[in-house]
Structure 1
Amino acid sequence: MSSTFRSKTKEQFRQRHYIHHISTTIILTIFASILFIITLFMYLFLSGKSRSSITNDTVHADDEIILRNRNEYSIHHIYIDIGCFNGETIEHFLHFIPDSIFYDIITFEPDPDNYQLCKQRLREKKYMNINIIILQKVVWIRDEKIYFQTKQGRQSRINMNANVLNRNSKELDAIDFSSWLARLVKPYNTKVHIKISMPGAEVLLLEKMINDDTLRLADRYEIEWTDRENPRTRPTRLYTQLMLDTAGFDCLYYIRLDDIRKVFQLNETFKNVPIYNDWRLVSEYEVHAYYAQRPDVHRVPNLIN
């Protein structure tokens, strides 16, 4: 009887010990799994923050422009969007251009309202691994303070007549884009694609770049020509377009931004976007002219420090 009791007691002890061992193992496994998940989440969160680069710039702080994709052994690609409004043109670029995720993307949007819209869109999770730098500066022909007409959406612009100001005219920081570009671009191993949407001021900017010989620092341009029939600006605009050709750039075609939007929303490729070879067939509003540098054009390394 006593022997049987002791045997049962030992068996019960072994069972309790076994159950305790299993329970401890399960608890430790669950704890380790939770700790691993927390660690992994923190790693992804912090690494995502380190890869994302949405920042402000100051006029003379060029070292704030962190070009993460630059190296000495391959072609470095940069996309510069002047006047990005709400960031949609960046979305279009990333969608339509092959390997665009490997570009360093720099965008200028001085209008405070548009700047916030741009930041909000480009901070979405799908862009976290792309180096996108947003600069709240006015692209201009000099480093100075300049009046800017805000709260006009895509039509926000430099106030070209300082004598006609209103409550939406804000004095903002402007940069000499030619000088800035010459400091940014390194010779020979850099390809630069520039989109220009700055209503009423694109001719002055391009004229300055032609005179400074910085136009050829970029290989491709998308230019939104505005006020095409304005008799005061038309002669200068025609001269600038001729000088683009003289500088070695061919106008390939014209594209309506509305067509780009439609194809983007359908998740289709660039080949589905209608192109026009005669801009008289399209309205002036939201039309981009696409220019590419001819292969025989030499770069201008003497401008680059």
Structure 2
Amino acid sequence: MTGAALTTGHLTAALDLPPDLDTGPAAAAADRLPGGWQHHATAERGDGPAVTVENAVTPAVTVRGQHIRLRLPPAVAGSVTLAYATYTVLERARQEQRMLTLHANAVITPDGRGVLLLGNKGAGKTSVTLALGALGWTHAGDDLTVLAELGDELMVLPGRPTAAVRPSDPTLWQAPKPVVALTPFARVPVPLARVFRLTVHPGVPHAQTTAATPFSANEQLRLHEALARYVSGLPTPLTGPNGTPYGPVWPLDTPALARWRSHLITRLEQHPYTYLYAPDPRTAADLITQETHA
């Protein structure tokens, strides 16, 4: 095994890899993950999280305290899967440091305040984010964002710096969505100012908002699922991009982290948190701008 370190998701961990493993394919996925994916040599091991990657016929993950053992077939370890798998196994360590990966978009107002955009798949998060960028906002993550608790503040950390954008030509609805770099993109954390849960659909008669606080039981459940998605219940495939997907729900969660996430929901309820409905992305972006500056 070769000793090194890995930085991804705003966390650095010790990393042991099989000799001669090519990490180039994993490094190429850096623009698809919050905080990138950087493998670098180090002489210090420390007491923090550690990941050991081993060659194995049958993929598996085991966790003992701060040490995660990741068993992967050699062809898989040498593929882009290594980046996604190591990012995911470090989610527990991330949450132990009061950070978590959130399925959301994030943007920063022109005066430097963070805004989260939540919503189901297809709710319009990416298109509204791009519309806000056109109005002078700074991107801070598409689909994957890192939310952190730092003392008395919730902070938005830079998330995924690229977005898959659906072609505007309706005849290309089956074509793969091209991936674009989000610019300008955040480089430092910013305080969270407010949250919008989006529904963008042409059937909405006109743009409107309604307060989401105090949270309903349904909103609390949605947030529980969203905040826990990367530490429990997200089966990252361990068989590589060309194999039949195999990805167990990994044993990463703990009761203490579940209690912290419940506390985080309480903290989110103390921020302006709004349901927003709009017929198109630009109308939604205009209303978000208006509400944020009100």
* TM-score, reference length from structure 2: 0.27
Structure with the higher fraction of residues in helix conformation: 1
If you compute each CA radius of gyration, which structure gives the higher value, 1 or 2? 1
Structure with the higher fraction of residues in strand conformation: 2
Larger relative CO (CA 8 A, sep 6+): 1 or 2?
2
